[in-house]
Structure 1
Amino acid sequence: MIGGGPGRELSSPPSDGISNLRFSNHSDHLLVSSWDTKVRLYDASANILKGEFAHRRPVLDCCFHDDSSGFSASADRNVCRFDFNTGREDLLGTHEAPVRCVEYSHATGQVVSGSWDKTVCAWDARGGTRVGTYPQPERVYSMSLVGHRLVVATAGRHITVYDLRHMPHPEQHRESSLKYQTRCVRCYPNGTGYALSSVEGRVAMEFFDMSDAGQAKKYAFKCHRKSEAGRDTVYPVNAIAFHPVYGTFATGGCDGFVNVWDGNNKKRLYQYSKYPSSIAALSFSRDGRLLAVASSYTFEEGQKPHEPDAIYVRSVNEAEVKPKPKAYAPAP
């Protein structure tokens, strides 16, 4: 099914490329990082900008600590902690190159950062001390956490899976089943695997279980493509977001479209009307009622005139995200 307007546009958007956005686990607060060096906190339901913090260089990722504080990863090589209630900002730690990813584990109380210096670092969120440094085969492009498990995707199509309780000894070293550069990795909410997207308009569904039966379930599919006059135009898939209730997921591409997929039944459930620019990031709210969409040019075609960066918040209808029951043929 295709349709639906873009949603309500948030006021006071970032003035340069949006690198990520995330809903809080406790409210409709939305945390946004961007290339204009800012981290912003919005009340997405009330359409209010509640506060902002600034780095010296572009902010490449952000995540919540609690409802009004969080962590940021910046091209200035710093990982910072900030509190919008008190206005306090602290330096948690520093990498040797821009920091691309940051995650907070509620299970262990650790902050994990991934950098283009080819390392992942773990930090104590309370004291700001470095817990460990873990070398990677290449620059870190994307990370995702579920429970105690961390998935790190790097350049060169490398995937490393960690148990946060035993970081010095990775659980798995894998290679992406997609042939081209990884753009995004996101763990399944049920903890059984992860979805991986690439610059070549594909998504792979992977599983942690390395048994033959477990690996037999994995598959990949094409998406975010356009066919005109017998010629395919292929777009990078920049963003993946899982619905917290139904386990279906949305993908966003440089074609400006957001698609919703039923991974179990291998079907597309919905496609929203085209957004003004590339989809840079996606996030469902904690109850799945809202979907935040970052419409922000990701420079896949180099420097050129483009639409202003914008954040849209959609009200999600159940029919857009709920898996449809399988149709069974009557017995003869």
Structure 2
Amino acid sequence: MSAAPPQPPGRELSNPPTDGISNLRFSNHSDQLLVSSWDKSVRLYDASANALMGEFMHGAAVLDCCFHDDSSGFSACADHTVRRLVFNYNREDILGRHDAPVRCVEYSYATGQVITGSWDKTLKCWDPRGTNGQERCLVGTYTQPERIYSMSLVGNRLVVATAGRHVNVYDLRNMSQPEQRRESSLKYQTRCVRCYPNGTGYALSSVEGRVAMEFFDLSEAGQTKKYAFKCHRKSEAGTDIVHPVNAIAFHPIYGTFATGGCDGYVNMWDGNNKKRLYQYSKYPTSIAALSFSRDGRLLAVASSYTYEEGDKPHEPDAIFVRSVNEVEVKPKPKVLPSPAT
């Protein structure tokens, strides 16, 4: 593939976090962007207007965040708490607690529940409408084989990736046991899992510069579709330099996806045709998180050093919001060979 011409990284948001960015997410309803950070903050931005709309400070690093609606959300904190944040009224409360740092949080629009994953090796479901003390909010606790590293939702399906390369797939309508228990097809530690927008499977990335494309259909025909590919690598003097793949984000319209690595690059992929569509110019440091806006017009990129090379001087943490051109994300039609004459 020929190298893409240099492109500007996008518009840099004002008032970024002052320490590592753990996640960022666009709203399902607007261009509002929610950002969690190791600086103990959760910030709400209007990405189109480049404006900080609100901020909450926690007592410890915030490891994840998600929206409830445009003016409220939930946070997963290293102080073991799950918090509900209402930006309109500058109000927060503790929805519940785990016995160790909370690594992941998701809100299910299908069930109206908040789902959290922790390093205490449990998954918990909460009803945020509960008002009579946090125990009333807890719907269920589900033990996992190891610490939870990443989670993703599509419809009623929840995919949970843990340490030890375990992957559990749940149906939120019946959480008594996993619908599927799997092992990552990648050899090394999982960094990120994201479900396909069409609900047929998920992509899984790892520290060894690979992404696996998996499918929920367990039939032989379904499983023959799965594959893995190398990315975020380069060859120097005959040696492969491998970078962890920290982030995956699917385009909501085309189903193509972006990956972000510790090499500072964002690549765009067509999973169905197994091709790279585009590579953006290098960002200042590691890509920690990625998110497309609801209509796929914008891509938010967290350029934030993830300490894969230890404690060393690095570029300041920054959030870039770039406009997405169709040529970067739209799958290219397959060219059929001409019939023999």
Tell me the equivalent position of 2:151.
143
Aligned residues: CA RMSD? 0.6
Tell me the alpha carbon deviations over residues 74-113 of structure 1, each in whole angstroms, 9 at most, x when there is no partner: 1000000011001110100000000000000000000000
Q: How far apart are the structure 2 equivalents of 1:241 and 1:9? A: 19
Q: Is residue 2:10 matched to residue 1:25?
A: no
Distance 2:93 2:176 in 1: 27
Distance 1:100 1:168 in 2: 22
- Candidates 136, 142, 149, aligned match of 1:134: 142
1:306 match: secondary structure: coil
- What is the match of residue 306 of structure 2? 298
Q: Does 1:121 align with 2:124?
A: yes
User: In the alignment, what sits opposite 1:97?
Assistant: 100
* Residue in structure 2 matched with residue 202 of structure 1 by the alignment: 210
Q: Which residue among 233, 250, 254 is the counterpart of 2:258?
A: 250
AA of the residue aligned to 2:164: G
Q: Distance in 2 between the 1:72 and 1:169 partners?
A: 25
2:280 partner letter: Y
Q: Secondary structure at the match of 1:57?
A: coil
Quick check: 1:111 aligned with 2:111? no
For 1:76, give the aligned amino acid. D
Counterpart AA for 2:66: C
Deviation digits for residues 132-180 of structure 1 (CA, Å, limit 9, x no counterpart) = 0000000000000000000000000000000011011210000000000
- Secondary structure, aligned partner of 1:156: helix
Q: Distance in 2 between matches of 1:69 and 1:318?
A: 31
Query: In the aligned structure 2, how far is the partner of 1:88 from the partner of 1:271?
Result: 41
Q: Structure 1 stretches of 5 or more lacking a match? A: none
What letter corresponds to residue 279 of structure 1 in structure 2? I
Report the counterpart of residue 185 of structure 1 in structure 2: 193
CA distance, structure 2, for counterparts of residue 125 and residue 4 of structure 1? 43
How many percent of aligned residue pairs carry the same amino acid? 80
**Which one of the candidate residues 208, 212, 223 is aligned to 2:231?**
223
Distance of 1:154 and 1:28 partners within structure 2: 31
Is residue 85 from structure 1 mapped to residue 93 from structure 2 by the alignment?
Answer: no
Amino acid at match of 1:94: R
Matched, 1:236 2:236: no
Which amino acid counterpart does residue 77 of structure 2 have in structure 1? S
Distance 1:301 1:75 in 2: 22
Aligned to 2:275: 267
- CA separation in 2, counterparts of 1:209 and 1:173? 13
Alignment pair present for 1:9 and 2:12:
yes
How far apart, CA to CA, are the structure 2 residues paired with 1:192 and 1:257? Answer: 27
Q: Give the counterpart letter for 2:271 in structure 1.
A: G
Paired with 1:47 and 1:251, the residues of 2 have a C-alpha distance of 24
Give 1:162's aligned residue. 170
What is the alpha-carbon distance in structure 2 between the residues aligned to residue 314 and residue 68 of structure 1? 23
SS state of the match for residue 137, structure 1?
coil
Counterpart amino acid of residue 88 in structure 1? R
Q: Which residue of 2 aligns with 1:280?
A: 288
1:45 aligns to what? 48
Gaps of 5+ in 2: none
Structure 2 CA distance, aligned partners of 1:271 and 1:155?
Answer: 30
State how far apart, in whole Å, the 2-side matches of 1:157 and 1:241 are. Answer: 20
How many residues get paired?
332
What is the distance in 2 between the residues matched to 1:126 and 1:149?
Answer: 22
Cα distance in structure 2, aligned partners of 1:226 and 1:135 = 39
